Amino acid sequence: MTSSGTEKALSLLRRLPRVSIGNLGPNPGAHNEKRRGRGIYGGKTHGAGSGGSGQRQNFMRVGYETGNTPFYLRFSYQTYYKGHHLKLSYTPLCMGKLQMMIDTNRLRCDVPVDVTQLMATGLFSISPQQKEGGFMLENEGIDHFKATINIEVQWANEAVIASVERNGGFITTAYFDPLSLTAAIKPVEFFGRGIAIPRRMLPPQHLIDYYSDPKNRGYLADPAEVARERFLLAQKYGYELPDVNASPNKDILLERKDPRQIFFGLEPGWVVNLKDKVILKPTDPELKEHFAS
């Protein structure tokens, strides 16, 4: 008969995550945290202890101002860094560069253009770990932009949206949380990990308004309002909105992702097996409900 202590231990074992390098640590006292000797007077010194003025390297600590409150301690905070850990930076992509990539066949236009397709060109690098959110389109070259594309980026301003739409294209701004972005920018590496495609998370509070605004063609905005804004923008900039139904690429131009989708056509919860070239889909109703929520 097992004691309650053993039972508790076993139940803990069942609940806790799998033991891995990431959650192991040494026992207290296993590692000797010996401090390096400094100065010429401490035991086991690393200072030049032979004495003599030529050998003394007894510097005061950096910033010490011989007694008065030093500069680095005078102020308790610096406001210009407030919230810097929450702010994302975006890789700038000029419309001119986008046009050049299309002209030189570097960027394929037979599929909707999104973060994955832009990264597949090999011309950019994004590191979500460094708080990079994706791509933002810049104004340079909007006058010469002639391509009809369905593009999904993370940030776009009014002029850029107008330049895409007047050529009959569609632009959407969409948020990718860091884990989803890691999967989106390197899909082959992600599929190699053998885990289910995650659900894309919703934007943080300070970005929700941006992505819900039809003026920014946000992916969370009402499609009817987005259509209305397209019409209004055409009037503002003075061009006629081309009819998408007449376009030969109608299917590509009208393809959109669900807010919880990372890849076109692939749903969260699926596992892609690149080696056997199959997709494994969960059948359990609870799992399906979770991934579809």
Partner 1 sequence: MIMALKPCVRQLGGVAQVWRCVSRSIAHQTYRITAGNTCHDINDAQKAAGPTSARLPRLRHTIPESYEKVEVSTAEWSYVERLLPLKSIPKPTGNPGEVMPSGWVVPSAKPGDYPYFVPRSANHMLPVYLLHKPILSKHVTSVKHVQGDIFALSEELREHLTQLLPSRKIINMRVHEPHQMIQIKGQFVTELKEFLLKKGF
- Which residue ranges make up the site for partner 1 (CB under 8 A)? 7, 10-11, 14-15, 96, 99-100, 102-106, 111, 116, 119-122, 141, 144-147, 187-188, 191, 195-196, 198-199, 202, 208-209, 212, 220, 222-223, 251, 255-256, 258-261, 263-268, 271-272, 274, 277-284, 287, 290, 292-293
User: 121, 115 in Cβ contact below 8 A?
Assistant: no
Q: Please give the distance of CA 1 from its chain centroid, rounded to a whole number.
A: 52
In the complex, what is the shortest distance from the CB of residue 195 to partner 1, in angstroms, rounded to a whole number? 6
In the complex, what is the shortest distance from the CB of residue 111 to partner 1, in angstroms, rounded to a whole number? 5
Q: Which is nearer to partner 1, 230 or 256 (CB)?
A: 256
In the complex, what is the shortest distance from the CB of residue 280 to partner 1, in angstroms, rounded to a whole number? 4
Task: Return d(Cα 169, Cα 250) in angstroms, integer.
Answer: 10
Q: Which is nearer to partner 1, 76 or 105 (CB)?
A: 105
Q: Which is nearer to partner 1, 15 or 85 (CB)?
A: 15
User: 90, 133 in Cβ contact below 8 A?
Assistant: yes
Q: Which is nearer to partner 1, 145 or 170 (CB)?
A: 145
Task: Return d(Cα 48, Cα 58) in angstroms, integer.
Answer: 9
Q: Which is nearer to partner 1, 38 or 281 (CB)?
A: 281
Here the tokens at position 225 are: 């309002």
Q: Which is nearer to partner 1, 9 or 48 (CB)?
A: 9
Among 175, 178, 171, 183, residue whose Cα is nearest residue 263: 183
In the complex, what is the shortest distance from the CB of residue 240 to partner 1, in angstroms, rounded to a whole number? 19
In the complex, what is the shortest distance from the CB of residue 190 to partner 1, in angstroms, rounded to a whole number? 9
Task: Return d(Cα 31, Cα 290) in angstroms, integer.
Answer: 44
* Amino acid (one-letter) located at 163: S
Look at the block and give the residue holding tokens 């035991």.
43
In the complex, what is the shortest distance from the CB of residue 167 to partner 1, in angstroms, rounded to a whole number? 10
Task: Return d(Cα 279, Cα 120) in angstroms, integer.
Answer: 21
Task: Return d(Cα 196, Cα 52) in angstroms, integer.
Answer: 68
